[in-house]
Structure 1
Amino acid sequence: MKSKSLPEMEKAIATVSDIYADRFGIERDKAWYLAKMTEELGELAAADLRLSKKARPNGSSKAELEEALASEAADLFAHLVLFCRDRGISLQDAVHAKWLKHLPEEASQED
């Protein structure tokens, strides 16, 4: 599979979300985007608890638990992308402005 840039991923994630919403008759509004992100964070936490042996593994192998954790991380990321897209936030610009500006090579370019 070809690697995608963040803007390409955002567009593809939105397309998948549209397909899912149409298929299941889900009406997405401002509250839905935040609620889904919150739900996915809870699912990520639960998967991490199972993997770290702080919750019952429910018969899953370590490999299955690791796969579940990665899957839930992907869900949370995708829903963050959808939330930002709905709110008109450029995630790429926001990360640059908040985090990447502190990299030495970024700071030297500002001079």
Structure 2
Amino acid sequence: MLRRLADQFETSSAAYAAANGIERDPDWFFLKLQEEVGELTQAWNRLTGRGRRRDRTPEELDRDLADETADRRNDIDLAAAIERKWRFEPALTSKS
């Protein structure tokens, strides 16, 4: 299941890079990880009142956090977040 999901992320990432003329070298992967962690931190800070809300509604703040994390503790619909952000339906069944 995880291998198939990882393959779906890889396909989406490769398509994004190709569409935007991005070379996915080792630096890019490291910097992209940093960018995603920063976006998660920003979404969390906004949701918890530690950052500027930028006129976001509570629903938008919740969606922003969902789009940036896989945190089940906060009752986030990970499949819906993947579909919104990565634009594919995740393979979440145990079938290969």
Give the superposition deviation at 1:55.
Answer: 1.1
- Aligned-pair identity in percent equals 38
Q: 5+ unaligned residues in a row in structure 2: which ranges?
A: 71-81, 83-96
Aligned partner of 1:67 among 59, 63, 69: 63
* Cα shift readout 1:6-58 (whole Å, capped 9, x = no counterpart): 11100011000111111000001011101100111011001100000111111
* Cα shift readout 1:58-94 (whole Å, capped 9, x = no counterpart): 11111100110111126xxx9xxxxxxxxxxxxxxxx
Aligned mates of 2:69, 2:23 — CA distance in 1: 24
Q: 5+ unaligned residues in a row in structure 1: which ranges?
A: 79-111
Name whichever structure is richer in helix by fraction: 1
Aligned mates of 1:56, 1:17 — CA distance in 2: 29
Aligned length: 71
> Which protein has the larger Cα radius of gyration, Structure 1 or Structure 2?
1
Counterpart residue number, 2:38: 42
Aligned mates of 2:50, 2:18 — CA distance in 1: 37
- TM-score when scaled to structure 1? 0.61
